[in-house]
Structure 1
């Protein structure tokens, strides 16, 4: 599957290096958040990569909810397991949980169906910033710390009317940011479309940390850096 170059297996454990996580963020998601740079002081594996690996490993179910519990760093040995309570968990050797998944309904392991959905979902996630979240911050008059921009997954849910949804695409239906002290709670709701027909729903919750008063000049500099990194990646 296309995910092979974004992880490795050693002694039965799954590892994601900083280089692999960064490559996935840039090549598949179009995500140029500095936190995914290999040399970032607080490097974090993209949550979208964990989502993709989980679906590839356990299959795609008609109803799935992903809870992102902890940020994952460079080359942490991971175990993917399904516990007696039916919850899928990704843990390290100290039993620290990084993501939990609940699922219901019929499922499929068809690699083509999974890859098409993953690529569609991840490509849309790459638009979170600046396309979607910047206007939300501007509207509320708040922004993250421009020196340490931090937008983190909290949860994601997926409901599909059918698993056979060719040419899936996500269309944003609702987007909202609610400031809460130094953090902003973001809710994004999408329609999952297949050849012009609605095939399901996707909802995401994210957290923007380090909120402060909106500074248009500082935000413009962050956006400029985003596109500069994007252009550099494709040179």
Structure 2
């Protein structure tokens, strides 16, 4: 996939407009979180877009961890280093850390491999809600606040055993949720394959706040509204 339409970079500073962020969320990730709507009061750039930009501009190493620390907005000017190092942070123009990246092992700048990895991961990540999260909440007998659903991207990890050539695929391999009062931690796991051979593994961690007792009727309403928004976008 071509990521260039979704961000601007000048002198190693990255900026994403509301229009670019919203288009990426909906058309690439299939993510219809209201935080990514062009007119959202509490707007933020999808964390997956910042992850994708980092890989596109810097390359991918065999072991990478991305810690999401602050919300990126259309006003953020996020500075990228010239190359990967073992640990570094992406700061905005106010010297506030947006993301910290840990990197080790061999590095690949293979544009096709990176584009494939980004596309497959982002599409998987965008399916977190409602498919995976609703099932986890039901099993744990809790649910998000319908009036203010708060799901925060905490971190994600990718471990790659080899940079194999060929069509890359990603398969969901498991999910778990732990609940502590009104807060919950969610972990998603996935495997990476090329030509049927497993070449890597990854995890995505999120924090869910404002939890309350599970109510099927309320959940049905949340999912219905979400799906209608998704369908309306598809018809535009």
TM-score, normalised with respect to structure 2: 0.94
Moved more, 203-212 or 188-197: 188-197
Gap runs ≥5 in structure 2: none
Verify the 8 A CA contact 2:64 2:102 in the aligned structure 1. yes
Verify the 8 A CA contact 1:65 1:103 in the aligned structure 2. yes
Give the Cα separation in 2 of the matches to 1:228 and 1:70. Answer: 30
Matched, 1:146 2:157: no
State the SS of the aligned residue for 1:81.
coil
Q: By how many angstroms is 1:136 displaced?
A: 0.1
> Structure 1's 176 and 80: CA in aligned 2 closer, same or farther, altered over 3 A?
same
Q: Give 1:31's aligned residue.
A: 31
Give the Cα separation in 1 of the matches to 2:11 and 2:52. Answer: 21
Gap runs ≥5 in structure 1: none
What do residues 61-118 of structure 1 show as CA deviations (whole Å, max 9, x unaligned)?
1110111111112231111127997323211111100111111111111111110110
Give the Cα separation in 1 of the matches to 2:85 and 2:122. Answer: 28
Verify the 8 A CA contact 2:26 2:32 in the aligned structure 1. yes
Moved more, 58-67 or 213-222: 213-222
RMSD value, Cα: 1.8
Verify the 8 A CA contact 1:83 1:89 in the aligned structure 2. no
Q: By how many angstroms is 1:220 displaced?
A: 0.9
State the SS of the aligned residue for 1:32.
coil
Q: By how many angstroms is 1:196 displaced?
A: 1.8
Verify the 8 A CA contact 1:82 1:88 in the aligned structure 2. no
State the SS of the aligned residue for 2:139.
helix
Give the Cα separation in 1 of the matches to 2:56 and 2:85. Answer: 21
What do residues 156-214 of structure 1 show as CA deviations (whole Å, max 9, x unaligned)?
11011111253222222221111122211001111112222211101111111111111
The residue correspondences of 1:198-209 to structure 2 (distance < 5 A) are 198-209=198-209
Q: By how many angstroms is 1:148 displaced?
A: 1.7
Verify the 8 A CA contact 1:80 1:88 in the aligned structure 2. no
TM-score, normalised with respect to structure 1: 0.94
> Structure 1's 82 and 100: CA in aligned 2 closer, same or farther, altered over 3 A?
farther
Give the Cα separation in 2 of the matches to 1:84 and 1:142. Answer: 40
Q: By how many angstroms is 1:21 displaced?
A: 0.8
Q: Give 2:100's aligned residue.
A: 100
Q: Give 1:46's aligned residue.
A: 46
Verify the 8 A CA contact 2:60 2:109 in the aligned structure 1. yes
Give the Cα separation in 2 of the matches to 1:91 and 1:180. Answer: 31
> Structure 1's 74 and 224: CA in aligned 2 closer, same or farther, altered over 3 A?
same
> Structure 1's 159 and 86: CA in aligned 2 closer, same or farther, altered over 3 A?
closer
